[in-house]
Amino acid sequence: MSNEGLAFIVFSVGMLLLMGIGMNMGLALVLTGAGMAWVLGFWDTQLLAQNLVAGVDSFPLLAVPFFILAGELMNSGGISRRIIAMAQAWVGHIRGGLGYVAIGASVLMASMSGSALADTAALATILLPMMRKQGYPMHTSAGLVASGGIIAPIIPPSLPFVIYGVTTNTSISSLFLAGIVPGIIMGAGLIVAWKLVLRNTDLPEGQPLSMAARLRATAKAFWALLMPIIIIGGMKTGIFTPTETAVVAAFYALFVALFVHREMKLPEVHGVLVRAAKTTAIVMFLCAGAQVASYMITLADLPSTLTGWLGPLVDSPRLLMAVMMIALVIVGTALDLTPTILIFAPVMLPIAVKAGIDPVYFGLMFVLNGAIGLITPPVGTVLNVVAGVGRMPLHQVIRGVNPFLITYTLILFLFVLFPQIVTAPVAWMR
């Protein structure tokens, strides 16, 4: 067997074994990369160290800590709570209204933080106790909250789009624009699915609030609603780059939390910074480890091997996309979104481009597929967040997420069949 074949076995088998024993994903990437280097005859500790540093030595990746910080500040500074209160004021009285509140708040919060975990935690903390108190079926309610949380990686500003753009050298601004319409479609799909789920439930309707009360709730959320306008408007007009957008979002959230809402005291900022730093460290170590594995994958010429396997499909872009999406669905059941991007995006994108698939469209589809993996067992990071916050058994949340998981899968393959749904709005917005 050739060295390249041995390297492929080391990578695939090594990753499966290390994930199976529960090793940290970043460390698993470093070790499998080191194993491939040994097999290929490129073993050099200095080379491994250089790649570790290169994995995080990127200006666009500066957006990562600031977007994470913005999400933490939103939750601690009352911004998320005001968004949910405004949505409840307008649609909370409808039968099953708290579900529509969750969907509306998910879309709005997604346009501010870009973090699925942060948005899901905020929604679950506020809405699940209210749903339990009003007699909502908790398994489907938890499933809806989890499903709403994964809109965050799609609507700009999206943290996964930043990581994908840096990893594949794709325009982050274009990826942000590509996510707007699909994110809205995801929200609309959840509305339809929630309405169908409610057919066999007996939930009372509430009393609608007066227009004055609704306007007061909207006014309280004014500073929160201004945030996505500043973010998207600033990028669209070219005032700041996606990386600078993250800085603006973080400082805006800090200003609102300290001086407008005044729900955060200055000493509390330290705790927020520590939480953001811990999350940032996890993501950055993943990026560093993935660079080691990615470099060795390139040396082993594994992309060419994969191209050979998928070569017959290059002349049929839609069939190729369908096959790659099915493969990523399977991968998403075992891997989190960030390592999926770091490991598979650099390998799959060249094949897609060779088939004539738009790289921005492929990036959107890749991240959407990975986001769906966040609510797919057995890993399902977002499912675990909802189960923990809602104090529910994980199997109940998994059962409740199924209708919404089916909805997202249908939307994914709708985009495969009709890529113009994604590409046409991007061309128009450009």
Average pLDDT estimate for 265-293 = 91
Say how far apart CA 368 and CA 166 lie, in whole Å.
17
Q: How far apart are CA 389 and CA 123, in angstroms?
A: 10
CA distance 409 to 153: 16
User: CA 99, CA 376: separation in Å to the nearest integer?
Assistant: 20
pLDDT of residue 427: 87
Cis peptide bond upstream of 378, omega within 30: yes
Please, is 238 exposed, middle or buried when counting C-beta atoms within 10 Å of its C-beta (0-12, 13-18, 19+)?
exposed
What is the distance, to the nearest Å, from the Cα of residue 48 to the centroid of all Cα atoms in its chain? 29
pLDDT recorded at residue 222? 94
How many other C-beta atoms lie within 10 A of the C-beta of residue 203?
A: 17
Give the CA distances from residue 425 to residues 37, 168, 179, 180, 257, in Å, rounded to whole numbers and listed in that order.
44, 22, 10, 9, 34
46 or 235, higher pLDDT: 46
CA 200 – CA 275 distance, rounded (Å): 41
| pLDDT band at 1; cut points 50, 70, 90 | low
Quote the tokens at residue 1: 């067997």
What is d(CA 187, CA 82) in angstroms, rounded to the nearest whole number?
Answer: 19
Residue with more model confidence, 6 or 194: 194
What SS3 string covers the chain?
A: CCHHHHHHHHHHHHHHHHHHCCCCHHHHHHHHHHHHHHHHCCCCHHHHHHHHHHCCCCCHHHHHHHHHHHHHHHHHCCHHHHHHHHHHHHHCCCCCHHHHHHHHHHHHHHCCCCCHHHHHHHHHHHHHHHHHHCCCCHHHHHHHHHHHHCCCCCCCCCHHHHHHHHHHCCCHHHHHHHHHHHHHHHHHHHHHHHHHHHHHCCCCCCCCCCHHHHHHHHHHCHHHHHHHHHHHHHHHCCCCCHHHHHHHHHHHHHHHHHHHCCCCCCCHHHHHHHHHHHHHHHHHHHHHHHHHHHHHHHHCCHHHHHHHHHHHHCCCHHHHHHHHHHHHHHHHCCCCHHHHHHHHHHHHHHHHHHCCCCHHHHHHHHHHHHHHHCCCCCCCHHHHHHHHHHCCCHHHHHHHHHHHHHHHHHHHHHHHHCCHHHHHHHHHHC
pLDDT band at 243 (very low <50, low <70, confident <90, very high): confident
Q: In the chain, pLDDT over 70 holds for what percent of residues?
A: 98
Instruction: Compute the mean pLDDT over every residue in the chain, rounded to the nearest whole number.
Output: 89
Structure token pair of residue 145? 């909250």
pLDDT in tens, 335-365: 889 989 988 898 899 889 989 999 999 999 9
Domain range spanning residue 70? Answer: 3-429
| Contact status, residue 91 vs residue 84, Cβ threshold 8 Å | no
**pLDDT per position as a tens digit, 201-225:** 888 788 889 999 999 999 999 999 9
pLDDT over 80 (residue 162) = yes
Q: What pLDDT digit, counting tens, does each position of 270-280 carry?
A: 999 999 999 89
Number of domains into which the chain is organized: 1
The tokens for 200 are 């066999």
137 compared with 314, residue with greater pLDDT: 137
- Contact in structure between 157 and 67 (CB atoms under 8 Å): yes
Between residues 293 and 152, which one has the greater pLDDT? Answer: 152
Measure CA 38 to chain center: 34
Q: Which residues of 8-22 are buried (b: 16+ CB within 10 A; e: fewer)?
A: bebbeebbeebbeee
Question: What's this model's pTM, rounded to 2 decimal places?
Answer: 0.89
pLDDT at 235 over 60: yes
Query: pLDDT value at position 4?
Result: 65
76/272 Cα distance (integer angstroms): 8
Q: For the segment 47-61, what is each residue's pLDDT rounded down to a tens digit?
A: 889 999 988 888 888
Mean pLDDT of the region 119-139: 92
